Amino acid sequence: MRRNVVIWITALVLVAVVSFAGTTLYIGATSKEKLVVSTTTSLYDTELLDTIEDQFEAKYSIDVYFISVGTGLAITHAQRGDADMILVHAPSEELSFLEGGYGVCRKIVAYNFFAIVGPEVDPANIRDLSPIQALSNIVETGRNEDAKWVSRGDDSGTHTKEKGLWTAAGFNWTILRNEKWYVEAGAGMGKTLQVTDNLDAYTLADMGTYLKYYKDGIISLEALVTEGEELLNVYNAIAGNQTKHSGINFDGAITFIKFLISEEGQEIIADFGKDVYGQSLFYPAVDLLKHNTDPTMVQWIKNYAFFNGYECPPEYRDKHPELYT
Amino acid sequence: MSSRIPGQTSRTLHVATGARIVWEFLQNPIFQITIRSLHISGTATLLSAMWSLPLGILIGIKRFPGKQLVKGIFNALLGMPTVALGLILYLLFSRTGTLGFLHLFPSLQAIIVGQAILITPIIISLTASAVESVDPEIKDLAKTLGASEVETSLAVLKEAMGGVVLAIIASFNRAIAELGVALAVGGNIRGFTQVLTTTIALEVSRGKIEYSIHLMVILLAIVFTITIFTNLLQRRIK
């Protein structure tokens, strides 16, 4: 009896150790160079990044790992050295990220527009108004208990944008959030759209995720306000700073950024979703900025996403001036 | 002779088709995610059993001051919220964390270690209870017959086997069904650290409800099958 138990215990220990060690060995043996990219849910939820990952990995011997979180957590990951680079859309937070010495080599990769989406009946009558006017109407109708607003409430890029829009419309977001009609979802873009749809409420959504959910029939919300400089949404790549965290894969990050801004990468972005949604979900930004093909748009991007007139101020370029020629 | 050639060709074709089907099945993300889930939680359970079982048996057999307190602590830890443990482990495993030098975030090993810690109190508590419920006369009898400390423990363990198996199975179910730890230290990375629960959470937020339902059915099937199997096994042990 005793021998049996000893055999069982030995077997248990052996299997556990072998299984754990096997995992480590397997990963060590099969994994190529790793690149951890912390990114915003709005990019990930559209599946654009899946497409980019497949094409990039077919070309380079680098395994790209996307961690899909809000821009806030994406930046935190990179600050802690857990991500090699970030792909985000919140210029104000990116600036403090650069100034804190955590990131270098920022490149503007793509842009699209946010939309104020809401129920078809549109209780606040915001259809085709200016973004600022639309928000004022929503606040007024909300306070009369005829409309609701759902906020991401997760410090994501979209949430940052929303707070900026409230300020531009003359409201104090910290007061609004305590009002009854103002709902904080604390979730990613997709989930927030679903909550908004269920509540017949309004929300701010990036066009990419909205279109995907709308065309897939997951939500019936309509894009009511889609125009205006205030709604511009710019996606940017920033590499982690290797002098801050020595363990990060800086070269991999630069390779990936170069791929994103290459003709091939920009084409993937431009074409993504065309076949399914009949229009692009994202617009490539590199050629536009380089050749000033659409001066109004370029000016808008410069107003919104440039720092001191640069997409990346020279002191944060870390020996990669070729990214900016 | 000549009639055998077409037969051989078609057999080769069949084998090739079969191999392709098997290969495609192996490449199917749903299959890979399921296997990954079983592998991670299985390893975590075995790993945890290595320290939790001896501890549980010890706590169950021995009489020592503060025994009730120790048991109380492990009982309290049974309800450990996975998000809390996930956050604690993330802060530990993060590059700037205490264990950052191990480069465990994000990785499969981090999830395994995390789940092993998560289920430790389950195994300890249930094992201790099972051991305690064994008739004390067995222990005394073993001792009277001149059994050593270890032999006595083994005799008691044999009597408590049903409870111990239950402890192991319950903890495996807890591990495979948890979300917080896998998300926090695994990061839900496609083709790398996605497990059933994290994929379901992600795909629901992506609006791929149907795909999520497939995964949910698999997860439920695993959990229910194991539970039913355990019940049958227990009846046999008794």
Task: Look up residue B76 and give its two tokens.
Answer: 């309290």
CB-CB contact of A285 with A108 (8 Å): yes
Domain spans of chain A?
A: 33-111+233-324, 113-231
Region A111-130 average pLDDT: 94
Superfamily of domain A33-111+233-324: Periplasmic binding protein-like II (3.40.190.10)
Q: Which of B100, B106, B205 sits opposite A65 (nearest CB)?
A: B106
- Assess whether pLDDT exceeds 80 at residue B9: no
Q: What is the pLDDT of residue A301?
A: 95
The nearest CA of chain A is from the CA of B8 a distance in Å of 37
CB-CB contact of B132 with B143 (8 Å): no
Banded pLDDT at B21 (limits 50, 70, 90): confident
Q: What is the pLDDT of residue A1?
A: 55
Task: Look up residue B164 and give its two tokens.
Answer: 């111990």
- Assess whether pLDDT exceeds 70 at residue B75: yes
- Reply yes or no: is the peptide bond before residue A295 cis, omega within 30 of 0: no
Is B172 in CB contact (< 8 Å) with chain A? no
Residues of A in contact with B120 (CB under 8 A): none
Over residues B123-160, the pLDDT tens digits come to 999 999 999 988 778 878 877 887 787 778 788 888 88
Residues of A in contact with B195 (CB under 8 A): none
CB-CB contact of A113 with A226 (8 Å): yes
The answer to whether the Cβ–Cβ distance between B46 and A16 falls below 8 Å is yes
- Assess whether pLDDT exceeds 70 at residue A241: yes
Q: What is the mean pLDDT of chain A?
A: 90
Residues of A in contact with B106 (CB under 8 A): 36, 65, 67, 82
Over residues B189-238, the pLDDT tens digits come to 988 899 999 999 888 877 788 899 999 999 999 999 988 888 887 777 65
**Which pairing describes strands A149-151 and A202-206: parallel, antiparallel, or unpaired?**
parallel
Candidates B121, B119, B132; CA nearest to B163 is B132
Residues from A in contact with B at Cβ < 8 Å: 1-2, 5, 12-13, 15-16, 19-20, 23-24, 27, 36, 41, 44-45, 47, 50, 53, 63, 65-68, 80-82, 187-188, 190-191, 194, 212-213, 216, 218, 245, 247
Among A110-119, A262-271, B47-56, B150-159, which is the least confidently predicted range?
B150-159
The answer to whether the Cβ–Cβ distance between B105 and A20 falls below 8 Å is no
CATH, domain range A113-231? 3.40.190.10
Among A23-27, A34-38, A249-253, B203-207, which is the least confidently predicted range?
A23-27
ipTM of the complex: 0.80
Q: What is the pLDDT of residue A69?
A: 85
Q: Which of B46, B157, B202 sits opposite A15 (nearest CB)?
A: B46
Quote the CA–CA distance of B187 and B194 in Å, as a whole number: 8
Q: What is the pLDDT of residue B33?
A: 94
Phi, psi of B35 (to 5 degrees): -60, -40
This prediction has a pTM of 0.84
The nearest CA of chain A is from the CA of B65 a distance in Å of 29
Residues of B in contact with A247 (CB under 8 A): 95, 103
Residues of A in contact with B42 (CB under 8 A): 19
Q: What is the pLDDT of residue A20?
A: 81
CB-CB contact of B171 with B48 (8 Å): yes
Task: Look up residue A273 and give its two tokens.
Answer: 């979703």
For chain B, domains (ranges, CATH) are 28-237 (1.10.3720.10)
- Assess whether pLDDT exceeds 90 at residue A67: yes
Q: What is the pLDDT of residue B2?
A: 47
Candidates B31, B29, B24; CA nearest to B190 is B29
Banded pLDDT at A142 (limits 50, 70, 90): very high
